[in-house]
Amino acid sequence: MINVIGLGYIGLPTALMFAAHGVEVVGTDYNKTLVDTLNAGKTTFEEDGLDGLFQAAVSKGIRFSHEYQKTDLYIVAVPTPYDKASKKVDAGYVAKAVEKVMEVCPKGATVVVESTVSPGTIDKHVRPVIEAKGFVIGEDIHLAHAPERIIPGNMVYELKHNSRTIGADSREVGEKVKALYGSFCEGEIVVTDIRTAEMTKVVENTFRDINIAFANELAKICRSDNMDVHEIIRIANKHPRVNILSPGPGVGGHCISVDPWFLVGDYPGLANIILAARKINDSMPEFVLERIGCIMKERQITDVGKVGLYGLTYKENVDDMRESPTLQMLDSMDRHLCGGQIKVYDPYVVQDVVPNQYHDLDAFLRDVDMVVLLVGHDEIRENMDRLKGKVVLDTRHICFLEGTYRL
């Protein structure tokens, strides 16, 4: 049996995938409401394929509990937020979870940290917790790191098909954990040491952040000289060794927008390109606000209440709003516009989370003269004709109506 600790965006799909493939699983979370919801037969967030996976796991006997279990293998998948002031990872949740595991686990148990952490976190924050309980790592307790590599909107597919990295103190432990994940993972599983596994995950997301920052800086350059950045990127990408990503209103989610800060915080003075990329991407919501103001002036829209922001999530076709560029924009709108009246709509966000939030596309479009496309949900892609007659600022390069404004 394995005990998966933390049943959020990563822990829940992971627990369900193990169970659906015949592994005995108990999922544990401190959130009573969450556990009660799962025990009532309902999932706790929207994700393509998650409900089907949930039913398959339930049919195989998965259980959910508030209590940590006594077993020989634990997977820790709790959050790892970062401190916005110091730019360093907060390993408190991971350390606390491991401490609770130590209170119930038998000697010989293996603890797998799946949470994304900065390089050295396990040495600094996890090993001391285990040793403080009197266990000898490598004899009494075995330690491994298997960082997640999935993205909201495609989690179920990527859990099965993406390659994985397993970091462990010994090859034997690494191979044991590899075999466990091999129960469902069809991608290549690489075994290495823990520090390398920590670094590899952070480097993957940092690479993408830097690529996006280049595209965003290019968008600013092209805007300053009235050039089409998307056409330039399209042509440049025809070169076999060029793959520039698309510019956008900012970078959200809990990976690309967060992981690079781990390196900035841990290696000040060394992570210079990484820091510059972070600053560029963090500046994009402000850049979009400036574009909104310029277009309003050009089109003589004097009432910000006639402007609507389409999209609250950080990416298309999910309900995940973590580090959303739209939320970043709303946080700083008072510096550019009288932000209280601006309209907001997202088909995936069913609860009211911001002022003037709509839950019906027809009503939203009826009440605005200008639409800012911030997320490329399928809903709006399939209804572009309904934007005719509106002033449209497209930050995602998805609208090709005549007269559409771009970044």
Active site residues: 201, 255
Using DSSP bridges, classify how beta strands 164-168 and 189-192 pair: parallel, antiparallel or unpaired: parallel
- Count Cβ atoms below 10 Å from residue 33 Cβ, excluding itself: 9
Structure tokens at 70: 């006594």
Residue with tokens 């940290």: 113
Q: What is the number of alpha carbons within 13 Å of residue 149 lying toward its C-beta?
A: 24
Instruction: Give the span between the Cα atoms of 381 and 159, in whole angstroms.
Output: 27
Number of Cβ atoms within 10 Å of the Cβ of 81: 13
CA angle 155–172–151, rounded 5-degree value: 10
Residue 73's beta-bridge partner residues?
A: 2, 110
Q: Among candidates 45, 64, 42, 46, which has minimal Cα distance to 54?
A: 42
Which run of H or of E encompasses 306?
Answer: none
Question: 3-state DSSP: the chain helix, strand, coil percent, rounded to 5?
Answer: 45, 15, 45
Instruction: Single out the residue of 200, 152, 78 nearest to residue 323, CA to CA.
Output: 152
The burial of 96, by beta-carbon neighbours within 10 Å (0-12 exposed, 13-18 middle, 19 or more buried), is given as middle
Sign of CA dihedral 232, 233, 237, 239: positive
Calpha distance 407→281 (Å, rounded): 14
Distance between CA atoms of 245 and 228, rounded to whole angstroms? Answer: 15
SS3 192: strand
Tell me how far apart the alpha carbons of residues 29 and 319 are, in angstroms, rounded to a whole number: 21
Neighbour tally for 207: CB within 10 Å: 14
Beta bridge partners of 145: 113, 167
Integer Rg of the chain from CA? 23
CB 353 within 8 A of CB 370: no
